[in-house]
Structure 1
Amino acid sequence: MHDNKYFHYGGDNMRKSMLLIIVLALTLVVTPASLSAQDCVISFLTVWSGEDELPNWENMVAPFVEETGCTIEAESTRDLNAVLTTRVEAGNPPDITAAPSQSTMQTFIEQGELVPLDFLDMDRMQQQFGDVWINLGTIDGTLYSVFPRAAIKSLVWYSPPAFEAAGYEVPTTWDELIALCDQIVDDGAACFSIGLESGAASGWPATDWIEDIMLRTASLETYDAWVNHEIEWTGEEVTRAWETFGEIVGNEDYQFGGSAGTLATGFGDAPCALFTDPPGAYLHRQASFIQSFIMDCPGGDALVPGEDFDFFGFPTIDEEFGNPGLGAADSFVLFTDGLVRAEDGNRKPFGDRRLQKLLHSQGGRTASDLLGAIKDAVARHRGERPLDDDAAVVVVTVGL
């Protein structure tokens, strides 16, 4: 799930990046027949793909795989909501998934499909995460998702050498941005290279534009009301945001390839127009993760971050609303919950509270020790009664 959240940042050129590293110290998925890790296979549904995202994930969980012998079977899709809904309806949900949209998550919660993470040590979670990340993963007072990665979205990328050669200056306000675009067009190039194509998820880069504009033309309270469906999409504030965006995408000359190019260009290919000779465009609005795509452009491996390409904050529009930054992150949720439903001879479930008490009593133990403690506790509870469902538990340690 890409959850967006605003925050304020300062300085002419923010160089701090947000990094959340979640190390999965233990993920145990077992068959109904036993609690052995020998046949441990974890299904993972994600929007991550390509040469960077999935390999980075595999590197992150490599210590866990080595210690447990478990296999992680990753399935990538850009149509997460549709694929996930189909699998849930078929009774074949993944063990772990990138969280779907908020509304889809709410539906799964109402259906009892998602595993609440209330067995986690919330004191430790609050030490490791800021409140904003815990709040974003919480629905109706219960934590359901954790965030392994975050990005800053309110960035406009450019080439400092190209700017210097053309005599352009970085704009700090919307009026200065429009004036710069007019100057770039007069010089024979396009102002922005925009790519909205993203398979089944096509269009999401445009929603980020609207959100950034909304945060600069209306109050934070209005933005929250919009996100929570408390104001109409035809309301005055929303209409203004769309019309402001239209000053860019409604001008064919401002866009590399015109509006047809904007619609057809893949979001990861769009920044490449900034690094041709001569440049096809001079600006690209995208989140911090786009730098890996820039390095994949033709000749991109020779580009030096901070020298050949850099960024500035999305310009202020209305001074009274300041210059907030839009953030986003991917989060994970769990679907397998057979362990807490494991029943004894009287059909009494093992339960969340029993698991939580066990985890609290095992603080500081290694993953393998904790694995043994969980196996023993569930085995004692079950006695001779077999498991009726897959069983899973996740212990998450987080470092910032």
Structure 2
Amino acid sequence: MREHLRSGRAAVAVSAAAALVAATACSPGSAPSGGSGGLAGVELLVAAKWTGVEEDNFTEVLSGFEEETGATVTYESTGEDTGAYLGPKIEAGEPPDVAVLPQPGLLAEYAAQDALVPLSGDAAARLEEDYTDYWQDLGSVGGDSYGVLLKAAHKSVVWYRPEAFDQAGVNPPETWDAMTGTTAPTLSDAGITPFAMCGASGWTLTDWFENVYLAQAGPQKYDRLADREIPWTDDSVVQALRTLSDVWSESDWMAGGTRGAVQTDFPTCVSQVYGQEQAAMVYEADFVAASAQEAGATVGETARAFPFPAVGERAPVVVGGDIAVAMSESEGVQRLVAYLASSKAQTDWAGLGGYLSANSGVEAGAYPDEFTQELAQTILESGDDVRYDLSDQVPSRFGATEGKGMWAVLQDFLRDPSDPGAAAQRLERAAANAE
């Protein structure tokens, strides 16, 4: 049986095909402008956080640029802390030609330091022609376009174990009230722990908050909060925290109780659902598929997903991802960014698996399995309602630093969610300190 992922009116079906695994490349989409050849002897350095299969797939995409232009492109991994890698190189005046940033907050910081080169020519044209206004704005600072979203992650899906749902006689919920009022308590009454929580990885808790906040407060208020136009003590924040407490206050609903929830990292929480069978559900992005497979599950069969439940009128669509920026004015840099931003390059990338694109020119058939195809379609069909991960838009000291800011406050709130107002005040103080 196939379950459906719904976001608004968009349906995202989970097939039996394994997600996020290598597959043969599909037919190319539109070719990037700029002609061919002309860069023989040019050497360019690209830096991103990817390793393993992600690195292999990206370097294969880069090889297409080398074949088209004659340039030589070297890839270097930044490691998980992209800022720690780039900071010294920027200070020394030796940045990579192109960097792939995991956070728009970093893009804004580097633009303020004049460490980025605005997109121009074919690179700017690709951004304008193939990406919606929202994605264009995401990569812009002060009216100048600096970055293009290369690789997306769909962060509005909840993964579950069908056997556990069948045993309890429940179906995937479409609303928050159904999940907290029927699905979770019915699972618990059947002796099945509803959730595995990844609380030791603070970023997963920010993703919980962002989905609830976007669905409850709406995209406009979400933007205002990200831009510091409203404080974190706003009633909408308090209400989102109060909604989260519907789950976070139920110690019996979490594998290992509250203590276990705070001490379990990602991807260990995934193995608690698939493999260890200690819980029925785990919330996180499409990339859960890889960890579920490592635990022995088959995506679409023993590992399925449903959309993050609607808190209000519609289900949220929150997207994370990696943004390419130019950091030098060397010959060929703008052509490389244009190539990476093109539907041709991203169609090739999609065919390799483990990839989602926000480029409107990448067709669903480019992806190797139905699950990924329909996740990608959801991102495109969400139009102006889709939003980028809020914690990655704010300064990294607030939104993306272990033991600080949002991560620390939400971990404490998971430990004791009894006072949403106090948690909101702590978030506001942390946001102010990060400025």
Taking structure 1 as the reference length, the TM-score comes to: 0.71
Match of residue 203 from structure 1 = 202
Aligned to 2:294: 296
Name 1:364's counterpart in structure 2: none
* Counterparts of 2:218 and 2:300, CA distance in 1: 32
Map of 2:61 onto structure 1: 60
Q: How does 1:37-52 map to 2 (within 5 A)?
A: 37-38=40-41, 40-44=43-47, 46-49=48-51, 51-52=52-53
How big is the shift at 1:123? 4.7
Query: Are residues 1:155 and 2:157 paired?
Result: yes
Q: Secondary structure at the match of 1:97?
A: strand
Higher helix share: 2
Distance 2:41 2:124 in 1: 31
Residues 133-170 of structure 1: CA deviation (Å, up to 9, x unaligned): 22222222221111221232111111223322332221
Between Structure 1 and Structure 2, the one with more strand by share is 1
Amino acid at match of 1:59: E
In the alignment, does 2:216 pair up with 1:217? Answer: yes
Give the unaligned 5+ runs of structure 1: 1-6, 27-34, 340-370, 372-390
8 Å Cα contact 1:23/1:61 also seen in 2: no
CA deviations on 1:344-384 (whole Å, 9 max, x unpaired) are xxxxxxxxxxxxxxxxxxxxxxxxxxx7xxxxxxxxxxxxx
- 1: CA distance, partners of 2:60 / 2:140: 28
Give the direction of change, closer, same or farther, for the CA distance of 1:175–1:38 in structure 2 (3 Å limit).
Answer: same
Q: Which amino acid aligns with 2:63?
A: A
Q: What do the CA deviations read for 1:156-201 (whole angstroms, capped 9, x no partner)? A: 111223322332221122222113222222333321112244xxxx
Asked if the contact 2:161–2:274 (Cα under 8 Å) also holds between the matched residues in 1, the reply is: yes
2:306 matches 1:312: yes
Shift in Å at residue 227 of structure 1? 0.9
- How many angstroms apart in 1 are the aligned matches of 2:251 and 2:318? 26
In percent, how many aligned pairs have the same letter? 27
Is residue 326–residue 337 contact of structure 2 (8 Å, CA) maintained in 1?
no
The 1:122–1:132 alpha-carbon spacing in structure 2 relative to 1, beyond 3 Å, is same
Deviations 1:257-295 (A, max 9, x none): 233433333323322222236x21111111122212221
**Counterpart contact for 1:255–1:262, Cα < 8 Å:** yes
The one-letter code matched in structure 1 to 2:228 is: H
Matched position secondary structure for 1:306: coil
Q: Distance in 1 between matches of 2:334 and 2:124?
A: 19
Q: How does 1:1-400 map to 2 (within 5 A)?
A: 9-10=8-9, 13-14=12-13, 37-38=40-41, 40-44=43-47, 46-49=48-51, 51-65=52-66, 68=70, 70-99=72-101, 101-120=103-122, 122-179=124-181, 180-197=183-200, 202-276=201-275, 279-297=277-295, 299-300=296-297, 303=298, 305-319=299-313, 322-339=314-331, 394=336, 396-397=338-339, 398-399=342-343, 400=362
Q: CA RMSD in A?
A: 3.4
In structure 2, do the counterparts of structure 1 residues 70 and 331 end up closer, same or farther at CA, with 3 Å as the change threshold?
A: same
Amino acid at match of 1:327: V
Say whether the 8 Å CA contact 1:23–1:396 is kept in structure 2.
Answer: no
For residues 131 and 59 of structure 1, do their structure 2 counterparts lie closer, same or farther at Cα, with a shift above 3 Å needed? Answer: same
| SS of alignment partner, residue 241 of structure 2 | helix
Relative distance call for 1:149 and 1:123 in structure 2 (3 A) is same
| CA pair 92-189 structure 1, distance change in 2 beyond 3 A | farther
Contact kept? 1:87, 1:93, Cα under 8 Å: yes
- Asked if 2 retains the 8 angstrom alpha-carbon contact of 1:116 and 1:144, the reply is yes
For 2:29 and 2:279, the matched residues in 1 are separated by: 35
Counterpart secondary structure, 2:336:
strand
Partner AA of 1:273 in structure 2: Q
| C-alpha separation in 2, matches of 1:164 and 1:146 | 43
Structure 2: distance between partners of 1:272 and 1:78: 22
1:278-320 residue CA offsets vs partner (Å, 9 max, x unmatched): x2111111112221222122x23xx1x322222111112234x
Structure showing greater Rg: 1
Q: Secondary structure at the match of 1:231?
A: coil
CA shift for structure 1 position 87: 2.7
Equivalent pair of 1:21/1:149 in contact (CA under 8 Å) = no
Q: Larger deviation: 174-183 or 123-132?
A: 123-132
Partners of 1:25 and 1:64 within 8 A in 2: no
Distance 1:219 1:43 in 2: 37
CA drift of 1:66 comes to 5.2
1:22–1:147 Cα contact (<8 Å) kept = no
What amino acid maps onto 1:159 in structure 2? R
Q: Matched residues in 2 for 1:21 and 1:331: separation?
A: 21
Letter in 1 for 2:245: G
- 2 CA distance for matches of 1:262 and 1:213? 19
| Distance (whole Å) between structure 1 residues aligned to residue 249 and residue 149 of structure 2 | 36
Note if contact 1:21-1:148 (Cα within 8 Å) is conserved in structure 2: no
The aligned counterpart of 1:358 is: none
8 Å CA contact 1:248, 1:254 repeated in 2: yes
